[in-house]
Amino acid sequence: MIASSFARIFFRNSINLGLPVVVSPRAAASVAPGDELIVDLAAGRIVNLRTEESYPAAPLDQQAVELLEAGGLIPYLKRKHGY
């Protein structure tokens, strides 16, 4: 999900559920339905493949990226503690 901003609780809960959320006011205002995007969460960059525009975004910290890669907090903890 890309938006101009998110409430902190929504942002954190989304990451914990494994849902990527990206803060980018320019992308939120410019991207149209059906556009295909490449999103680099760690670097904070969004590329629109249709228009070839690039937008800056707030990069996610390493822990958030690891949680998203695991599928959320519960899968991350299961993997980390061997469950």
The CATH number assigned to the domain holding 77 equals 3.20.19.10
42-69 pLDDT per residue, tens: 999 999 999 999 999 999 999 999 999 9
Q: What are phi and psi of 56, to 5 degrees?
A: -75, 150
For the stretch 26-48, what's the b/e string if a residue is b when 16 or more beta carbons lie within 10 angstroms of its beta carbon? ebbeebeeeeeeebebeebbbeb
Please count the structural domains in the chain. 1
Domain that holds residue 23: 2-81
Rg, the chain, Cα only: 14
Give the tens place of pLDDT for each residue, 21-38. Answer: 999 999 999 999 999 999
